[in-house]
Copies of this chain bind each other. A is one copy, B any other.
Amino acid sequence: MHVVGKALPRVDIRGKVTGEAKYTADLEPAGILHGKVVHSTIANGVVTGFDLEKALAVPGVVKIVTCFDVPDHPFPTAGHPWSVETRHQDIRDRKLLNQRVRYYGDDIAAVVAETELAAEKAARLVKVQYEEYQPIVTTEAAMREGATPLHPELRKDNVIVHSHMTMGPSDFTFEEGRKQAEEQYGADNIAVVDRVYHTPRVSHCHLELPTSWAYVETNGKITVVTSTQIPHIVRRCTAQALGVPVGQVRIIKPYIGGGFGNKQDTLYEPLNAYLSLSVGGRAVRLEISREETIVSTRTRHAIDGHCRGIVTRDGRILARQLEAYANNGAYASHGHAICANCGNVFKDLYRDEMGAEIDCWTVYTSSPTAGAMRGYGIPQSIWMAECLTDDLAYAIGADPCQFRLDNCMQAGFVDPANGITFHSYGLKKCIEAGRKHIGWDEKWENYRHQTGSVRRGVGMAIFCYKTGVHPISLETASVRMVLNQDGSIQLCMGATEIGQGADTVFTQMAAETTGITPDRIYAVSTQDTDITPFDTGAYASRQTYVSGMACKKCAEELRAKILAYAVRMLNQDGIQMEQTIYAGQVKQAVQKLQQSIGLRDGEPVSADMLDIVDNKIVVSGGEPVLFDVAEVATTAFYSLDDSRHLTAEVTNQCKDNSFASGCCFVEIEIDLPLGLVTVKDIINVHDSGTIINPQTARGQVQGGMSMGLGYGLSEELLIDEKTGRVRNDNLLDYKIPTAMDTPDLHVEFIELDDPTGPYGNKSLGEPPAIPVAPAIRNAILNATGVAMDTAPMTAQRLIAAFRQHGLI
């Protein structure tokens, strides 16, 4: 491959560095109105009335709408494709503004004003009367017998879905497995671990807040310009919320400053559209602050996992069990999909000789809504699985690294539940590379025997990740390419650039397949649902795999059209060239064909004799060069005999999937009395098939590792159980790692050509964030012998644990 695999600089680098790149707020028209949401100050209850007098008296206030005004159209928000099968449709459980308040921060009214200040002032002056109920913040409370159902219109209890799955026999139970194991091996020859592992509720912390602006277009379209990962899905959900046909809504996505899954959800776009409609279609900006983003958009699910495992003393995992409880908060958003994904990956990661038993519960609580976040249930799954794996290894005194190599999922693995296949298998090579980098064999053994208050430890974790969502859901992606007169191309992807470098890798793919060099390929970065081909968007690490294949197919089609036109020029088949400025080139080209491949006089040129290399039409094989693609393009535009605009448009429905995998190895230093963990060395090794761009891939991995560090060590949204209020709704109190907290982040790739990927590639977007936290946890275990069960492993938690174990 010529372009795929090269470290092409990001195509948007100039605009992003200079500040030229236009984000949503940069595009606002003059004279825009400002919207502000009024949020509930109770976590559970009903709004019984408003006193708007003081708010309406604020100069500049144009309109106040409340939960009593909005249409009665419950709508879903999840960034899933819609489905023509009812059972695949998402849960419709919220309105534009909600009278039934379900968390502290629920949307109950909104102000539109001439200025941002007036909107904020008025929003603060809105007085609300409530009927208040007891907040139900935890899954335990929500699942308790007799707990008030938060969505009685949908279900009698608070469990959104409970699902049960097994590996091995379909009626496999862990308890039966244990009995059988005891019988077969004898109780002394097996070890059983039974623990509960906890993951925190965390915030995405994307730089750009999810502000949007909406207006009604001249043609009647309700248009929302918004920072989203999923413009086509937001279009459909907004239409559902407003009760209008999808075609009446238009969503425009400019450059965006990060999403990490929070923007894989329909956030305030429907309300913004409604606010514009409520003021006659004028442009209204809906400002969402950081505090609102943390509380009132989405979070990553806190999932608690009751895990059990049985292992033989000689190191074979016999059975595992997971009971996962996901705190989904007030609204369903992505529903059960995330917790189900957590369970699925837990069961896939290891061979359980006897079987695995999984139960997943997703539970409404009166707390902020959980939705998609980088990893989609798998950071939680891997926290549980990889805590358990080390605990199992420690229970039998095994080297956790070797233990994993012996028990992990093997080459050719096929998930029997859904047929997802490990088409290219690099997991063990990843483990070997990480083991070598960190110096595992020597260090792990040495570090186990330390004493003293400052110690070292090495730890590791492995993971697997499904590429895209087939066959669980629809995978479809469309692409259009437009040839310009100069032989350059506009590449219009339905897939979205969200900071991850999508425009760059698609440019490389288009270049690879068309033969046009990347500097002549212009990625149209703005998605506009009125004109951009359909694609469900940036999530599930699907774009290079699913949309990439659409890009490849579209490039093949455009290339074929260019060559077909070139052939007709050479054969003068309906296109007379004599009078044109290219007459000489065409004549010479035919002579070159005669000399190079022995084309006979009068024999027609055919497309298989030609190729496109570096913007040139060449004889197949690369030489000699005939003429520039620009000459074909220009002729196609302007020929008096046959003028045609060469474009190509393709949909790729993806009906395959391949596991990506990888691992993290980490070495830490831990100061026991301070509870301070310092990461001394860390490496992620990824099996993601062919790497399209090693430079941007490395950046992607490093970003994920940084998120993993925060997940393991510092990040957690704290909720007051009494009031349901988020205690740390800002970036001073909510701690993400800074550059100062971050060591050198090492990255390696095991590049195996995946036969199902368009260019041999598999997922890479989300995986890097997955294995870091449990690797650190396991390094602490190596250093101290203390097995933590709760992330993040803050100083408070560590000190408490060390005290409990008598280490300090």
Contact = CB atoms under 8 A, between A and B. Distances in A.
A719 interface: no
Interface in A647-663: 647, 649, 651, 653
Contact of A30 (B30, B217, B642): B30
B531 A482 contact: yes
Contacts of A156: none
Number of copies of this chain in the oligomer? 2
A15 B85 contact: no
A678 interface: no
A643 B642 CA distance: 33
A284 to B, nearest CB: 14
A411 to B, nearest CB: 29
Contacts of A192: none
A220 B639 contact: no
A503 to B, nearest CB: 8
Interface string A630-651: 1000110111101111010101
Interface string A523-538: 1110000110110000
B530 A522 contact: yes
B522 A580 contact: no
A528 to B, nearest CB: 8
A280 B82 CA distance: 45
A11 interface: yes
A21 interface: yes
B29 A219 contact: no
Interface string A238-276: 010000011110000001000000000000000000000
A221 B489 CA distance: 12
B533 A218 contact: no
B649 A647 contact: yes
Contact of A245 (B20, B486, B581): B486
Contacts of A713: none
A12 interface: yes
Interface in A38-89: 81-86
A381 interface: no
A14 interface: yes
A582 B247 contact: no
Interface in A396-428: none
Interface string A664-707: 00000000000000000000000000000000000000000000
B474 A246 contact: no
A70 to B, nearest CB: 22
Given A218-B255, A522-B221, A523-B219, A653 B647 contact: no
A213 to B, nearest CB: 13
A162 interface: no
Contacts of A245: 484, 486, 488, 630
Interface string A81-103: 11111100000000000000000
A476 interface: yes
B492 A218 contact: no
B247 A522 contact: yes
A653 B645 contact: no
B638 A81 contact: yes
B85 A247 contact: no
A579 interface: yes
A349 interface: no
28 contacts: A12-B218, A15-B217, A15-B219, A16-B218, A20-B216, A20-B281, A21-B218, A27-B29, A82-B485, A82-B638, A83-B638, A84-B582, A84-B634, A85-B579, A85-B580, A218-B255, A221-B522, A246-B486, A247-B487, A247-B488, A474-B639, A476-B645, A482-B531, A490-B531, A522-B530, A533-B645, A643-B651, A643-B653
Nearest 4 CB-CB pairs, A to B? A15-B218, A247-B488, A245-B486, A247-B484
